[in-house]
Chains A and B, each alone.
Chain A
């Protein structure tokens, strides 16, 4: 597999601040993967997200999206249609008062012909299961529905990668399931690379790769099983681990022995059962 995003030694400071928010951040994201970036508030993960489609550009180091340098102003539109972005607050990313008009916004900006836009809008809304709501007003939808419309608005650009910056932070559990289910499907069925930034540990369990950020650096990376087996270092970063990993960790402290890498409820229950027998 080839990588779609390469972040190399990126340093970034906000204007007027001394401490860099990103301090030699390096990571690579593979085409088609489901990647989760974890980190506490202020770890630099949202700032990193804004670098991935050229909203911000690095002071030092470089970012390449599908081979394009994000500092190349000429390529900006191509970069943004390659890497779509979904933000935390669904209300603040909708421009239109009707769902389908909102989804049409990006393809309209790309200057596509009307028929093509129509086709893409319908396709995008069907992919997130919101087609029947196409004529609704966004402010009357639930949080999970709004966020799915926001995702459709990005899919309509036919991006190869979608970056989601804490898309579930403002949603209730039902909305969270809807959104996470949708993005997993887009990754597995449609081959779209997903970069999910979150601090809900449970959302990271099915990821292909997890990056943990702290103080503007990637401090650990690996499969979820590898990352979550390191309970102590995650806690030191102000994060927790999923309750399954936490339970096994505490039992280990009390003298139990488990095989490495158990994360789902099923695996966890089986591991305990065989340790007791």
Chain B
């Protein structure tokens, strides 16, 4: 169950999208998210969905891998859908019982919300699947670099983020192991009242925290042993460089966003 979490995973490849500069991909993702929030109609959502599918096809990431990433969030998606379904009133009333009723507007909003969440997640997953965490945080570090002037610890922040991403699979594996070990001693994680179940998580959480601290300690020593001394004087093996394809991609994505805004303005 925990193994389904694919957050921060990288799928090695050499597609057009894999080769783009991480800064380009970050900006395109931001533009894409902005467009998602601007979109209001079947037409605009349709265009965005088409764009997403096209990007996935170009990236050669298996769609099943992307959909798998949605699985842990299924509950949230279903919850949002139900909430919108009953809460939004408008249009024709289709079914009604007690205080609840479902309207055409409700169905439409619920559908849009579900698509918005799913497309948002899939889009950002496409970013992390095609970009190594190292490149991603490097890109972020450069984009945020101006903040160093006002003493924001940008390098430390980026380093923390890349280490966190690196350790996600390790900690997930560990959580699985501890869960099994406690189950072997008769721990019950699945039944009981909510308060009991929360309490039942202690045998999992305590060892997980202890181990995370131990790992952090050992990692710090290992990093120091490899001459880590902060961001100062540090160089990078893979220097990020924007190529012509990067500028074209960013330009295209901005044009695309403008197009969506114009469509929305004209009532689509």
* Chain A interface, number of residues (Cβ within 8 angstroms): 42
Q: A55-B221, A92-B222, A101-B134 are in contact. Are A108 and B166 (CB under 8 A)?
A: no
Q: A117, B235: Cβ atoms under 8 Å? A: yes
Q: A87, B221: Cβ atoms under 8 Å? A: yes
Q: A97-B10, A97-B165 are in contact. Are A106 and B132 (CB under 8 A)?
A: no
CB distance from B199 to the nearest CB of A (A): 30
Q: B238, A114: Cβ atoms under 8 Å? A: yes
In the assembly, what is the distance between CA of A214 and CA of B164, in Å?
Answer: 38
Among A36-44, A78-86, A173-181, A201-209, which stretch is in contact with chain B? A78-86
* Chain B interface, number of residues (Cβ within 8 angstroms): 34
Residues of A within 8 A of B221 (CB): 50, 55, 87
Q: A111-B235, A114-B237 are in contact. Are A95 and B227 (CB under 8 A)?
A: no
| CB-nearest residue of chain A to B174 | A91
CB distance from B237 to the nearest CB of A (A): 4
Q: B223, A95: Cβ atoms under 8 Å? A: yes
Q: B237, A121: Cβ atoms under 8 Å? A: yes
| CB-nearest residue of chain A to B232 | A111
Interface string of B232-258 (1 = CB under 8 A from A): 011111110000000000000000000
Interface: A251 (CB within 8 A): no
Interface string of B182-206 (1 = CB under 8 A from A): 0000000000000000000000000
CB distance from B105 to the nearest CB of A (A): 45
| CB-nearest residue of chain A to B163 | A95
Interface: A216 (CB within 8 A): no
In the assembly, what is the distance between CA of A94 and CA of B133, in Å?
Answer: 13
| CB-nearest residue of chain B to A52 | B225
Residues of A within 8 A of B10 (CB): 97-98, 137
Residues of A within 8 A of B162 (CB): 95-97
Interface: A139 (CB within 8 A): yes
Q: A95-B219, A110-B227 are in contact. Are A101 and B234 (CB under 8 A)?
A: no
Q: B228, A109: Cβ atoms under 8 Å? A: yes
In the assembly, what is the distance between CA of A107 and CA of B227, in Å?
Answer: 8
Q: A154, B226: Cβ atoms under 8 Å? A: yes
Interface: B93 (CB within 8 A): no
Residues of A within 8 A of B236 (CB): 104, 108, 114, 117
Q: A97-B165, A114-B236 are in contact. Are A92 and B219 (CB under 8 A)?
A: yes
CB distance from B40 to the nearest CB of A (A): 38
| CB-nearest residue of chain B to A96 | B134
Q: B166, A85: Cβ atoms under 8 Å? A: no
Q: A139, B235: Cβ atoms under 8 Å? A: no
Interface residue ranges of B140-167 to A (CB < 8 Å): 162-163, 165-166
In the assembly, what is the distance between CA of A84 and CA of B229, in Å?
Answer: 15
In the assembly, what is the distance between CA of A66 and CA of B133, in Å?
Answer: 37
18 extra interface residue pairs, beta carbon distance < 8 Å, beyond A80-B225, A97-B132: A50-B221, A77-B227, A84-B225, A85-B225, A91-B170, A92-B215, A93-B218, A95-B219, A98-B134, A104-B237, A108-B235, A108-B236, A108-B237, A111-B234, A113-B235, A114-B237, A118-B237, A136-B12
Q: What would 12 A/B residue contacts be, using CB atoms closer than 8 Å?
A: A50-B221, A81-B227, A85-B222, A87-B221, A89-B215, A92-B222, A105-B228, A109-B229, A117-B236, A135-B12, A154-B225, A154-B226
Write the residues of chain B forming the contact surface with A, with a CB cutoff of 8 angstroms: 8-10, 12, 132-134, 162-163, 165-166, 169-170, 173, 214-215, 218-219, 221-229, 233-239
**Nearest 6 Cβ contacts at the A-B interface:** A93-B222, A106-B226, A92-B218, A85-B225, A104-B237, A117-B237
